[in-house]
Amino acid sequence: MSARDDHSWGAPPKLPASHFVSGTVYTDPDICAEEVRELFGKLWRFACHESELPKAFDYRVFDHAGHSLFCIRGADNRIRTFVNVCSHRGAKLLSQPRGNAETITCFYHRWTYDAEGGCTGIPRPAGYRGTGPSRQAMGLREVRTEIKAGLVFINLDDDSASLETFLDGALDSFEEALSGVPLEVFHYNRAELNANWKAWHETNMDMYHENMHVVLRKTQLNAMPMEDRTMALFSNGHGASGELKAEYAGYAGFAGRGDDVPPLPGLKSTDFRFVDLFPSTTILLRGTAVRIDTATPLGPDKTLLEMRGLGVKGEPMEHRRTRIKHHNQYWGPFGRNVPEDTFAAEACAASFSKGAARYQIIARDENLTGQDDAILRAFYAEWGRRLNRQPSAPELDWVDDG
Amino acid sequence: MTADDGKVPLTEAVRELVGQAALALDAEAFDTFLGLCTEDFQYRIRVMSPELGQEMIWLEQSRVELGKLFAALPEHLTRPGRLTRQVSVASIHEETAGLLATSVFSVFHTDFAGRTQVLAVGRYVDRWALDKGALRLRERDVHLDTRDLGIGSHVPL
Ligand code: FES
Ligand SMILES: [Fe+2]
C-alpha cells in the first residue's frame, strides 16, 4: 500500500481496456460534439410521457441534440414530433414549453401550420408565383416518433432501425408497471449541472454507489443477499437491474412507506428496479412511484438534467399526495438521494476538468450480481462502437474484442 | 390585536419572528426553528410548472417529519457552504385563527471559497397562531419561483 507519483498516477490502470475510462471522454469538446451528432442525433430518445399531451392539439416543446423540437397530438389522436423551426426563414415557432394550438402561426411573417406538420397558410402567396415556394412544399420537418408503454420516443435519424429493435426488450419488464394502469406526470424539474452528461448518467448505472447514499446504506444494502441480485444487459448499450428490495424501516421516517397507497402494477411497495436506456434515459420504479430522467449535453462540462415523477391518473387526492411524498423522499431537488447524485457528478467533473483525475475504474465484476459494473461497461462499449473511439484511450479507434 | 402583555402589536411580533426563523435556519439551529412552530406545524414547498401547467409539491413535511429530516442531515452529503436568507415581510393580515404573513425571500449560497450566489427566490406564506400565549408558526408554504436549483438541497429553504 503506497501513494503514487505523477508517472504512476497518469499511467493507464493495469486493467483490461474495457475496465477503465479515460478522463478525456468528459472534457474534450470534439468528443462532446461527436456525441451530440452520433448518439443524440441518431438514436431513439425519451421525449415526454403521452399524458403530457392529453387533448388534441396539446404540445410540449423540448431541446434535443441542440435542436428545439415539439411533440403535438393531432386531431387523429396521434402524437407527432417536429423541429420547432419555421420553413420560411427559420424562426422558432413555439416559445412556451407547453400549450394547445390547432394552428401554429409563425410570429414573423405569419405562415401557418397544422398539427400534422402541413403548411396551411402563406400570406400573399402570389408574391411567390414563378419562384417556387408553395404550401404543399413548405411543411415542417417531421421527426420519427414511437410510443412504448406511454413513453414518447423520438429519433432525428430517418434511417435508423425501429424503436423496438433499438430497445431490444430492455423495457419489457417495466411495461406492466408503466402501462398496467394509466399514469400521468406530477413532477417535472430541469436543472443544469456543472458536469459532463455521462458523469450524471453514471450515477444511474453504478450500483456500487449505493454506499454513498445514507438512505440506501440503511434500507437497501442489506435488504437482500448481494448474490441474489441480478442485472440484465441488452443490445445497443442498455442495462437494467433485476428486482431489488428495500427495508424502509431502516431510515427514520420511512417506515411503513407504501402501506397507504397501492403500489404500481406488478410491484410490491418494497420493490425497486431501474433501467438505463442508452444513451441517457433512466426509468426507476420504487414500489409506489416512478422517476424518469434524461441528461442532455449542453457542452463537455454542462448538462441539462430533466426529471419527471409519475403517479396513477385519476387516483384519489390522498393517494396522489402520498405518492408525491414517496417520490419526494428519494427524488426531486429536495429528495434524500438526488442531491447526492448531482453532488457526485459535479465532484467527479471538477476533478477531470483540469486533469487532476485521469482515469475512472469500472472493473467490478460480480457476474451480473451484487454491485457489478457491467452496466457501465456495456454503456462504454456501445459508446466506443458508435464513436469509433476506445473509452480507455479515445484518441485510438475502437477495437471490438467481443 | 396585541400579544398577552398588551405592549407589542402582533403584527410587529410576527415581523420579528419571521426574521428569527430565517436566522435560525441560516444558523442550522433547527431546534430553535422548530421551537418557533406549533406541534401541528406543516411545511410545504410549492412550485408552478410551466411545463406541466400545474402546481407541484416538492416537499411536504409535518413537524415530526421535519425533526427527523433535520436530525438526519449530518449523515447526508449536503451542499457544502452556508445559506443566507433575506426575508422581507410584505403583508400581514389578521385571520380568525391568527395572522397570515406573506414575505418575499431570497436564499443565497456562500461556498467554502467565500463566493456567494443566489440559490432561490420566492415567497413565504405563513400562518401564525397564538399558542399558549405565544405566537407560533403553524403553516409555511414556500412558493418557489426558482426551479433550477442546480444540485438541489437537503435543507428546506
Ligand atoms: S420565418 Fe416564419 S413566417 Fe417567416
Ligand atoms: Fe444515486
- Domain harbouring B134, CATH code: 3.10.450.50
Structure confidence at residue B75 as a pLDDT band (50, 70, 90):
very high
Say yes or no: A196 and A279 in one domain: yes
Taking any CB pair shorter than 8 Å as contact, residues of chain B touching chain A are 45, 49-54, 56-60, 65, 68-69, 71-72, 75-79, 147-154, 156
Take atom 4 of ligand 1 and give the residue whose Cα is closest: A109
Instruction: Flag whether B150 is in a domain.
Output: no
Judge contact between B150 and A200, C-beta under 8 A: no
Looking from the CA of A392 toward its CB, the CA atoms found within 13 Å total: 17
Angle at A56 between CA A51 and CA A59, to 5 degrees: 65
* Distance to chain B for A179, nearest Cα, Å: 20
CA–CA dist B141, B150 (Å, integer): 22
Say yes or no: A136 and A269 in one domain: no
Which amino acid belongs to residue B133?
Answer: G
Q: What is the ipTM of this complex?
A: 0.94
Give the CATH number for residue A278: 3.90.380.10
Instruction: Flag whether B71 is in a domain.
Output: yes
pLDDT at res. B57: 98
Instruction: Flag whether B108 is in a domain.
Output: yes
Instruction: Flag whether B44 is in a domain.
Output: yes
Residue keyed to cell 441474489? A228
Say yes or no: A373 and A311 in one domain: yes
pLDDT at res. B6: 55
H helical segments located in A189-298: 197-205, 214-219
* Distance to chain A for B37, nearest Cα, Å: 19
End-of-domain residue from the set A101, A131, A163:
A163
Task: Give the distance (Å) from ligand 2 centre to CA of residue A208.
Answer: 9
Neighbour count for residue A17 (Cβ, 10 Å)? 18
Give the CATH number for residue A90: 2.102.10.10
Judge contact between A86 and A95, C-beta under 8 A: no
By mean pLDDT, which of A330-334, A348-352, B6-10, B94-98 is the weakest?
B6-10
Instruction: Flag whether A1 is in a domain.
Output: no
CA–CA dist A55, A78 (Å, integer): 10
Structure confidence at residue A66 as a pLDDT band (50, 70, 90):
very high
Say yes or no: A191 and A151 in one domain: no
End-of-domain residue from the set A112, A143, A163:
A163
CA distances in angstroms from A240 to A146, A210, A261, A368, A376, listed in the order given = 21, 16, 26, 10, 11
Judge contact between A73 and A58, C-beta under 8 A: yes
Average pLDDT, chain A: 96
Domain count, chain B: 1
pLDDT tens digits, B127-149:
999 988 899 999 999 999 999 99
Q: Indicate if the pLDDT at residue B36 is higher than 60.
A: yes
Say yes or no: A178 and A209 in one domain: yes
CA–CA dist B92, A183 (Å, integer): 41
Q: Indicate if the pLDDT at residue B103 is higher than 90.
A: yes
Domain count, chain A: 2
Say yes or no: A119 and A239 in one domain: no
Q: 3-state class of A72 per DSSP?
A: strand
CA–CA dist A80, A101 (Å, integer): 14
Instruction: Flag whether A355 is in a domain.
Output: yes
Say yes or no: A117 and A178 in one domain: no
Say yes or no: A238 and A323 in one domain: yes
Instruction: Flag whether B82 is in a domain.
Output: yes
Structure confidence at residue B96 as a pLDDT band (50, 70, 90):
confident
Taking any CB pair shorter than 8 Å as contact, residues of chain A touching chain B are 52, 60, 96-98, 185-194, 212, 214, 251-253, 321, 324-325, 328, 332-336, 338-340, 342-344, 346
CA–CA dist A232, A20 (Å, integer): 20
Instruction: Flag whether A269 is in a domain.
Output: yes
Peptide bond preceding A279 in cis form (omega within 30 of 0): yes
Q: Indicate if the pLDDT at residue A264 is higher than 80.
A: yes
Higher-confidence residue: B3 or A264?
A: A264
Take atom 1 of ligand 1 and give the residue whose Cα is closest: A89
Burial class (CB in 10 A: 0-12, 13-18, 19+), B61: buried
pLDDT at res. A138: 96
CA–CA dist A175, A327 (Å, integer): 19
pLDDT at res. A57: 98
Atom of ligand 1 nearest to the CA of A90: 1
Q: Indicate if the pLDDT at residue A55 is higher than 90.
A: yes
User: Could you tell me which residues are beta bridge partners of residue B54?
Assistant: B49
Say yes or no: A126 and A249 in one domain: no
**CA-wise closest residue to A196 among A292, A282, A279, A290:** A279
Instruction: Flag whether A235 is in a domain.
Output: yes
pLDDT at res. B7: 60
End-of-domain residue from the set A123, A145, A163:
A163
Rg of chain A (C-alpha set)? 23
Instruction: Flag whether B154 is in a domain.
Output: no
CA distances in angstroms from A284 to A79, A124, A275, listed in the order given = 24, 52, 7
Residues of A in contact with B140 (CB under 8 A): none
B57, B66, B119, B157: best mutation site toward chain A, by most A Cβ within 10 Å? B57
CA–CA dist A64, A5 (Å, integer): 42
The stretch A156-172 carries a mean pLDDT of 98
pLDDT tens digits, A280-302:
999 999 999 999 999 999 999 99
CA–CA dist B7, B153 (Å, integer): 40
pLDDT at res. A400: 82
Q: Indicate if the pLDDT at residue B1 is higher than 60.
A: no
3-state secondary structure B6-40: CCCEHHHHHHHHHHHHHHHHHCCCHHHHHHCEEEE
CA–CA dist B105, B115 (Å, integer): 20
Say yes or no: A150 and A240 in one domain: no
**Sign of the four-CA dihedral A338, A240, A382, A153:** negative
Neighbour count for residue A111 (Cβ, 10 Å)? 22
Instruction: Flag whether B135 is in a domain.
Output: yes
Q: 3-state class of A7 per DSSP?
A: helix
Average pLDDT, chain B: 94
Q: How many residues does chain A have?
A: 402
Take atom 3 of ligand 1 and give the residue whose Cα is closest: A109
Return phi, psi of residue A334, to 5°.
-110, 15
pLDDT at res. A316: 97
Looking from the CA of B142 toward its CB, the CA atoms found within 13 Å total: 25
pLDDT tens digits, A137-149:
999 999 999 999 9
Instruction: Flag whether A115 is in a domain.
Output: yes
pTM for the complete prediction? 0.96
Judge contact between A302 and A198, C-beta under 8 A: no
Judge contact between B43 and B69, C-beta under 8 A: no
Q: Indicate if the pLDDT at residue A10 is higher than 80.
A: yes
**CA-wise closest residue to B18 among B109, B135, B133, B118:** B135
Q: 3-state class of B106 per DSSP?
A: strand
pLDDT at res. A253: 94
pLDDT at res. A252: 95
Instruction: Flag whether B23 is in a domain.
Output: yes
What cell does A141 get?
A: 420537418
pLDDT tens digits, A77-99:
999 999 999 999 999 999 999 99
pLDDT at res. B64: 97
CA–CA dist A213, A211 (Å, integer): 6
pLDDT tens digits, A127-136:
998 898 889 9
Q: Indicate if the pLDDT at residue A371 is higher than 90.
A: yes
Instruction: Flag whether A346 is in a domain.
Output: yes
CA–CA dist A67, A57 (Å, integer): 21
* In chain A, % of residues over pLDDT 90: 97
Neighbour count for residue A246 (Cβ, 10 Å)? 25
Instruction: Flag whether A101 is in a domain.
Output: yes
What cell does A15 get?
A: 486493467
Q: The domain containing residue A122 runs over which residues?
A: 49-163
Q: The domain containing residue B133 runs over which residues?
A: 2-144
Say yes or no: A266 and A129 in one domain: no
CA–CA dist A29, A35 (Å, integer): 10
Higher-confidence residue: A120 or B3?
A: A120
Say yes or no: A147 and A258 in one domain: no
Instruction: Flag whether A34 is in a domain.
Output: no
